């Protein structure tokens, strides 16, 4: 369906990649840990290695949670747009096939939040 309008109705999207000063947006959620009320939004350069996110960014974003220190990253399961996905830590975001406004999530088997409440 299209919007009903009195004349041609076409406007640019407010969030195209060219507006982010060389960065692209990546959304990251941690499954079963709803103490973080929503997935996070990050602006990253597409050339950034994926491993830098896990090592350098996620601790600052998720580190408050007591489960975070217990994560075994070799067992983490990743989803991209809800489907199983395997990132390569050495490769860049672009080479991992991550585009502007992609959403990824990770599941950490065995960790289910505060007192198992998925918090």
Partner 1 sequence: MDMQVAKKKLGLKERYAVMTRGLDWTPSYQKMEDIYPYIAYEGIKIHDWDKWEDPFRLTMDAYWKYQAEKERKLYAIIDAFAQNNGHLNVTDARYLNTVKLFISGISPLEYVAHRGFAHAGRQFPGPGPRVACLMQSLDEIRHAQTQVHAISNYNKYYNGMHDFHHAHDRVWFLSVPKSFFDDAITAGPFEFMVSIGFSFEYVLTNLLFVPFVSGAAYNGDMGTMTFGFSAQSDEARHMTLGLEVIKFILQQDPANVPIVQRWIDKWTWRGYRVLTLVAMMMDYMLPKRTMSWKEAWEVYFEENGGALFKDLARYGIKMPDCAAQIALEKDHLSHQAWSTFYNYAAAANFHTWMPDEDEMAWLSSKYPESYDKYYRPRMEYWREEAAKGNRFYNKTLPMLCQTCQIPMIFTEPGDPTKLCYREVDYKGDKYHFCSDHCKKIFEDEPEKYVQAWLPVHQIYQGNCFPEGTDPTVEGFDPLAAVLKYYNLEFGRDNLDFEVSEDRKNFAEWRGQATKNV
Binding footprint of partner 1 on the chain (CB under 8 A):
1-6, 9-16, 19-21, 23, 25, 27, 29, 31-32, 34-43, 60-61, 64, 81-82, 99-103, 105, 113-115, 117-119
Smallest gap, in angstroms, from Cβ of residue 8 to partner 1? 10
What DSSP assignment string belongs to 3-62?
A: ---SS------TT-GGGSTT-EEEEEEETT-TTS-S-EEEEE-TTSBHHHIIIIIHHHHH
Q: How far apart are CA 92 and CA 43, in angstroms?
A: 14
- Closest CB to partner 1 among residues 43, 74: 43
- Closest CB to partner 1 among residues 22, 73: 22
Strand pairing category for 102-107 and 77-80: antiparallel
Smallest gap, in angstroms, from Cβ of residue 114 to partner 1? 4
- Those residues whose C-beta lies under 8 Å from the C-beta of residue 87, and which sit 6 or more positions away, are 50, 78, 96, 104
Smallest gap, in angstroms, from Cβ of residue 46 to partner 1? 15
Smallest gap, in angstroms, from Cβ of residue 70 to partner 1? 15
- Closest CB to partner 1 among residues 82, 84: 82
Which tokens belong to 53? 């996110």
- Closest CB to partner 1 among residues 91, 101: 101
């Amino acid at each position: 369906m299209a919007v009903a309008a009195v004349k041609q109705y076409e406007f640019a999207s407010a969030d195209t990649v060219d507006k982010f000063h060389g960065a692209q947006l990546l959304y990251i959620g941690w499954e079963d840990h709803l103490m973080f009320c929503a997935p996070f939004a990050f602006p990253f350069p597409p050339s950034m290695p994926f491993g830098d996110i896990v090592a350098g960014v996620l601790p600052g974003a998720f580190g408050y949670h007591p489960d975070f220190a217990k994560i075994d990253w070799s067992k983490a399961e990743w989803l991209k747009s809800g489907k199983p996905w395997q990132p390569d830590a050495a490769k860049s975001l672009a080479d991992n096939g991550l585009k502007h406004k992609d959403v990824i999530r990770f599941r950490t088997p065995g960790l289910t939040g505060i007192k198992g409440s998925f918090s």
